[in-house]
Amino acid sequence: MSHSEEVYYSGPVGLTPGRLGLWALIASEIVLFAGLLGSYLLLKTVRPDWVTQAAHLNIWAGALNSLILLSSNFFMMKASTAAEESRNEDTKRFLALTILLGLAFLGVKAFEYSAEFHHGFFPSTSSFWSFYFLLTGVHGLHIIGGLVAISLLLFKALSNTLEPMKGRVFLTGLYWSFVELVWIFLFPLLYLMK
Amino acid sequence: MQAKAGSSNHTMIYGLLVVLAIVTVALPFLHLDKIAHNVALFSVAAFMAALVGLQYMNLKMEGPLVLWLVGIPFVLFAVLVVILIPEFVWHHTILTPSTAPPTGH
């Protein structure tokens, strides 16, 4: 590893069991989301009417959620760096911001769902809406799982017991980045693709 | 020194990701044809995903074990889609109900 690479490397040096386990989890998540996204793509090639159904989605809410999740992950990365350098106050602040933005993402999604239900779009309405609610719902569950993990870390940081397990902030950041990565594909696929 | 370098790197990547997210939202307003639009959309998404994977998830620092672990599902997904899309389209556009082979009964 060169000196310039060391400067930008914020994770643990060796392949720890925790990191290997998390990458195995992410690999299985890739299989899950790739299967769902692949099925959606295949069906979309033969269902041109899905474009008109997707036009009912609120692009601005989706775009806002993209910015919210990008910002949330940015603060998670800052929290990871702060935890690694034992800057406890910064870690607390960045973890709290990550959680707040994660909750904001879920709030915007709940607003979107309620508007869609109000207009009569349910998972049973058509195959497009089935896919939309399935994909965003599974992604939302991953957001909730991540928020639970980050909240536990914040609780540890607030009680000043995070130091022995600060590597877990990096691991949770890895998971949170994956959740963001999934949204990077979900947003254009569902809201913008022709 | 290291903290500043890592932090400014994260900030730079974040700024780039926000710009690319705005580009993604702006694409429909360019009124490109369907193929150009979709190719542009997924090119931007792939670039954003690469930034997150390499910079935030530190994939550029990982060894071959992790790269294989993450790479194999991606390759299988690509193979699945590339093989199945022509088959799927052919069945739904060429083999219309009137020309499809009888299924018996």
Cβ contact A115:A59 at 8 Å: no
| d(CA A7, nearest CA chain B) in Å | 5
Contact by Cβ (8 Å): A191, A60 = no
Among partner residues B52, B69, B84, which is closest to A184 by beta-carbon distance? B52
The pLDDT of residue A133 is 97
Mean pLDDT throughout B7-12?
83
Q: Which two tokens stand for residue A60?
A: 């601005």
Q: Taking CB atoms and an 8 Å cut-off, how many pairs form between chains A and B?
A: 129
Task: Write the CATH number of the domain with boundaries A17-192.
Answer: 1.20.120.80
Contact residues, chain B, for A73 at CB < 8 Å: 52, 56
- CA B33, CA A194: separation in Å to the nearest integer? 9
Contact B70 A23 (CB under 8 A): yes
Instruction: State the ipTM, two decimals.
Output: 0.87
Closest CA to A193 of A29, A30, A37: A37
Is B41 close to A188, i.e. CB distance below 8 A?
yes
- pLDDT of chain A along its 194 residues, tens only? 444 444 444 544 567 888 889 999 999 999 999 989 988 988 888 888 898 999 999 999 999 999 999 999 999 999 999 999 999 999 999 999 999 999 999 999 999 999 999 999 999 999 999 999 999 999 999 999 999 999 999 999 999 999 888 889 999 999 999 999 999 999 999 999 98
Are A46 and B93 an interchain contact pair (Cβ–Cβ within 8 Å)? Answer: yes
**pLDDT score at A123:** 94
- For A85, residues 6+ apart whose C-beta sits below 8 A from its C-beta are B3
Q: Which amino acid appears at position A122 of this protein?
A: F
Task: State the virtual CA torsion across A16, A179, B46, A34 in degrees, nearest 10.
Answer: 90
How does pLDDT run across B62-103, given as a tens digit for each residue?
888 888 988 898 888 888 777 877 777 777 666 555 444 555
Location of structure tokens 């809410």: A61
- In tens, the pLDDT along B28-62 reads 999 899 899 999 999 999 999 999 999 999 888 88
Spell out the residues 6+ positions from residue A38 whose beta carbon is closer than 8 angstroms to its own: B77, B80, B81, B84
Among candidates A189, A191, A153, A190, which has minimal Cα distance to A171? A153
**What's residue A122's pLDDT?**
95
Domain ranges of chain A: 17-192
A102 and A147 Cβ atoms separated by less than 8 Å: yes
- Give residue A47's pLDDT: 85
